[in-house]
A and B are shown apart, each in its own frame.
Chain A
Amino acid sequence: MSAALRFAEVKKRFGANEALRGLTLEVPAGSIFGLVGPNGAGKTTAFSIACGFLQADAGEVSILGQNGFDPMRLKGRVGVLPQDALVGRETRCLDHLAHLGMLSGLTTRQAHREADQRLEEVGLADRRRARVKTLSHGMLRRLSVAQALLGSPELVLLDEPTSGLDPRHAHELRELFARGRREGQTLMISSHNLPELEALCDHVALVDQGRTLATGPIDVVTGKGETVEIELGDGPAPAAALAAALPDDTVIWDDERRLMRIAFARAPDRKAEDVIGAALRVLLDAGARIAGVRRGQTLEKKFLEMT
């Protein structure tokens, strides 16, 4: 799978603050890529460098096969939702989108059609003639998402796209992003809503203090293909029997949380489902009461563990 966006040892400093200290990551084409990190980790700086808003001090950024961001050469191929960018208060939603659509290379007619369609998709069709100053915070966010999706760009970079949205609109946007991916778009999303990213993304990078802590397919980063967690109810906890039944794997019993963690070696003929089946048989035979089964760690847990 080729990379739609690649950062190699990218560094950026703002005075005494070193925002990026050699960030390295690769966004595979056709994926939804989550960028995860605490506040000040460098996520927005990375987004801004990818879009050419900020100049990197060192390192290389490659975007859709081009070295660095050249808006004229990448015209219409990249959509961006910048964080905290304001739209002119007196501008009408449709005028704003149509203008940006034309700047993206669309004809006047195409731009107006696209603007209407995107407003419909983000639930703002009834506000197409409204001035921006009359929109709520959530509506402004959706308008900004709409501009990022104008012209169906190959690569869409979304910095906190669902921040401040109600659950319904956040869900609708996630559906929109998933549809974009199915249609061949690559999306890179930064968010603090980790369950949202976990549900949406197939690749992820955990960053902290300007460095990449972990990156790759989300199953690999969260250990979904390497660990299984089984939560037990009150009653027996046959850890020794389980360890004996799975001699090639590591079984750890967390008594406090009543959690049986099984770390297994990845192999083509042995998947997580096989391990779960074997473990459940042993546990049920030993009279254990199963309260829950989960593959790997949650993204949130992995994030807390690493940062």
Chain B
Amino acid sequence: MSPFVRDVGLVARFELGEAIRSRMLVVMTLLFVGAGALGAWGFTEVLGTVEENAAKVMGNAPPPSRGSTLKQMTRSRSYRDMLRVFTRDDKKADYFASLPPIVVFFGWASFTFVPWLVLLTASESIAGEVATRSIRFSVVRTGRLPFALGKMVGQAVVVAGMMVLTAATFFVVAWIRLAGFEPGATALGLFSYAPRVLLYVMPFLAWAMFASMITGNPQVARSISLGGAVALNILRGLGKIPALQGPALDPIWDFLKLLTPFGHNEGLLYPPGGALMADVAVCLMLTVLYFGGGFAMLRRRDL
């Protein structure tokens, strides 16, 4: 193994150890698992209500337990029509209808909220070490690039672990609360979404690392991480305003959309749509771009 790769692994491993020792991992686990459990529980409540209302409308007796009519409901035309309203795409609606509803909710919730959790938790990774100067113990022994990469890999491993835990939480909650629970299809759906969410989160993680590399103040790093992401999201949203659309402006919005990490989850959420590879490519490109930009500053700056 080359010294470079070994150092990346060592820094990542120590980062993981520090997360455990500093109880940051406990906080993150509580955040992810707590939010996952709460979300999954709430969703199963909604499903139960929908089942009851559907039975009332059809003039049937109320379902004996929550989830007992789920299979029939997801195969019904009205369920597909509802998904069509949300997705505005027949094929996409059919695809989501083929998945257990809890899996669809997990996918939507993860793609929506996990990036923000990552922006919140990863931005102090390097800035914190610069502030306490503990970075000096490491960069005298290894290059700044393996150090920064190791930090990012460590954070990615933490997020990956959290995704697996969250998926497991959804699985357990659905198992406990839904009578018509399909363990095989649910497990397959949940655990096939987890790596796709991780891929989507990578540019957000790289943005948080960018913030962490350009300042030695952890609070400023967090502000740049979250504030910058909000600004990028607003910038992307501007292109959707009809008054700001036109042949001259559209290429600018398209270019800006390419530079923001938001919205590149279409293909990851719905792989049969054909945008999977494009989204994977953009996510990887943005990851390299943000990390590279931050490292260009870290490489030259005084520590």
Instruction: Give residues in A with beta carbon < 8 Å to B.
Output: 48, 51-55, 69-72, 75-76, 78, 80, 82, 84-92, 95, 99-100, 102-105, 131, 147
Complex Cα distance, B136 from A51, in Å, reads 9
B147 CB to nearest chain A CB (Å): 9
Q: Residue B140 contacts which of A78, A88, A95, A99 (CB distance < 8 angstroms)?
A: A78
B12 CB to nearest chain A CB (Å): 12
Closest residue on chain A to residue B14 by CB atoms: A99
- Contact of A90 with B140 in the complex, beta carbons under 8 Å: no
A16 CB to nearest chain B CB (Å): 16
Closest residue on chain A to residue B23 by CB atoms: A90
| Chain A contacts for B139, CB-based, 8 A | 52-53, 71
Closest residue on chain B to residue A100 by CB atoms: B137
- Contact of B300 with A55 in the complex, beta carbons under 8 Å: yes
List 3 A-B pairs, minimum CB-CB distance, nearest first: A90-B21, A85-B133, A103-B141
Complex Cα distance, B302 from A131, in Å, reads 29
Taking A75-B3, A82-B133, A87-B134 as given, write out 16 further A-B residue pairs in contact, using a Cβ cutoff of 8 Å, ordered by the A residue number.
A48-B302, A51-B136, A52-B139, A52-B140, A55-B300, A69-B140, A75-B141, A80-B140, A82-B137, A84-B133, A88-B18, A90-B23, A100-B141, A103-B7, A104-B141, A105-B141
| Between-chain CB contacts (< 8 Å), 5 pairs | A52-B140, A71-B142, A78-B140, A85-B133, A91-B18
Tell me the chain B residues, 30-44 only, with Cβ under 8 Å from chain A. Answer: none
- Contact of B137 with A147 in the complex, beta carbons under 8 Å: yes
Complex Cα distance, B11 from A69, in Å, reads 20
Q: Residue A90 contacts which of B22, B137, B142, B143 (CB distance < 8 angstroms)?
A: B22
Given A71-B142, A86-B132, A90-B22, CB of A105 within 8 Å of CB of B10 = no
| Chain B contacts for A89, CB-based, 8 A | 22
A181 CB to nearest chain B CB (Å): 21
Q: Residue B302 contacts which of A54, A82, A85, A90 (CB distance < 8 angstroms)?
A: A54
B287 CB to nearest chain A CB (Å): 24
| Chain B contacts for A90, CB-based, 8 A | 18, 21-23
| Chain A contacts for B192, CB-based, 8 A | none
Closest residue on chain B to residue A92 by CB atoms: B21
The answer to whether the Cβ of B303 comes within 8 Å of any Cβ in the partner chain is yes
The answer to whether the Cβ of B273 comes within 8 Å of any Cβ in the partner chain is no
Complex Cα distance, B111 from A110, in Å, reads 44
B137 CB to nearest chain A CB (Å): 6
| Chain B contacts for A69, CB-based, 8 A | 140
The answer to whether the Cβ of B245 comes within 8 Å of any Cβ in the partner chain is no
| Chain A contacts for B143, CB-based, 8 A | 70-72
The answer to whether the Cβ of B195 comes within 8 Å of any Cβ in the partner chain is no
A199 CB to nearest chain B CB (Å): 28
Closest residue on chain A to residue B133 by CB atoms: A85
Complex Cα distance, B21 from A72, in Å, reads 28
| Chain B contacts for A48, CB-based, 8 A | 302
Q: What count of chain B residues pass the 8 Å CB interface test? A: 25
- Identify the interface centre among B3, B23, B133: most chain A CB within 10 Å of its CB: B133
The answer to whether the Cβ of B53 comes within 8 Å of any Cβ in the partner chain is no
Instruction: Give residues in B with beta carbon < 8 Å to A.
Output: 3-4, 7, 10-11, 14, 17-18, 21-23, 132-134, 136-143, 300, 302-303
| Chain B contacts for A103, CB-based, 8 A | 7, 10-11, 138, 141-142
Complex Cα distance, B21 from A94, in Å, reads 14
Given A51-B136, A52-B139, A72-B3, CB of A88 within 8 Å of CB of B21 = yes
| Chain B contacts for A71, CB-based, 8 A | 139-143
- Contact of A88 with B142 in the complex, beta carbons under 8 Å: no
| Chain B contacts for A95, CB-based, 8 A | 17
| Chain B contacts for A104, CB-based, 8 A | 141
Given A72-B3, A90-B22, A103-B7, CB of A53 within 8 Å of CB of B136 = yes
| Chain A contacts for B22, CB-based, 8 A | 88-90
Complex Cα distance, B138 from A131, in Å, reads 19
Given A54-B303, A95-B17, CB of A85 within 8 Å of CB of B142 = no
Complex Cα distance, B11 from A80, in Å, reads 19
| Chain B contacts for A78, CB-based, 8 A | 140
Closest residue on chain A to residue B11 by CB atoms: A103
| Chain A contacts for B18, CB-based, 8 A | 88, 90-91
Closest residue on chain A to residue B9 by CB atoms: A102
Complex Cα distance, B140 from A147, in Å, reads 11
- Contact of B134 with A86 in the complex, beta carbons under 8 Å: yes
Q: Residue A85 contacts which of B3, B17, B21, B137 (CB distance < 8 angstroms)?
A: B137
| Chain B contacts for A52, CB-based, 8 A | 139-140
A70 CB to nearest chain B CB (Å): 8
Closest residue on chain A to residue B144 by CB atoms: A71
- Contact of A72 with B132 in the complex, beta carbons under 8 Å: no
| Chain B contacts for A85, CB-based, 8 A | 132-134, 136-137
Closest residue on chain B to residue A97 by CB atoms: B137
Complex Cα distance, B84 from A133, in Å, reads 57
- Contact of A53 with B303 in the complex, beta carbons under 8 Å: yes
Complex Cα distance, B134 from A84, in Å, reads 9
B216 CB to nearest chain A CB (Å): 12
Given A54-B303, A88-B22, CB of A72 within 8 Å of CB of B142 = yes
A172 CB to nearest chain B CB (Å): 22
- Contact of A55 with B302 in the complex, beta carbons under 8 Å: yes
Complex Cα distance, B133 from A116, in Å, reads 24
Complex Cα distance, B131 from A84, in Å, reads 11
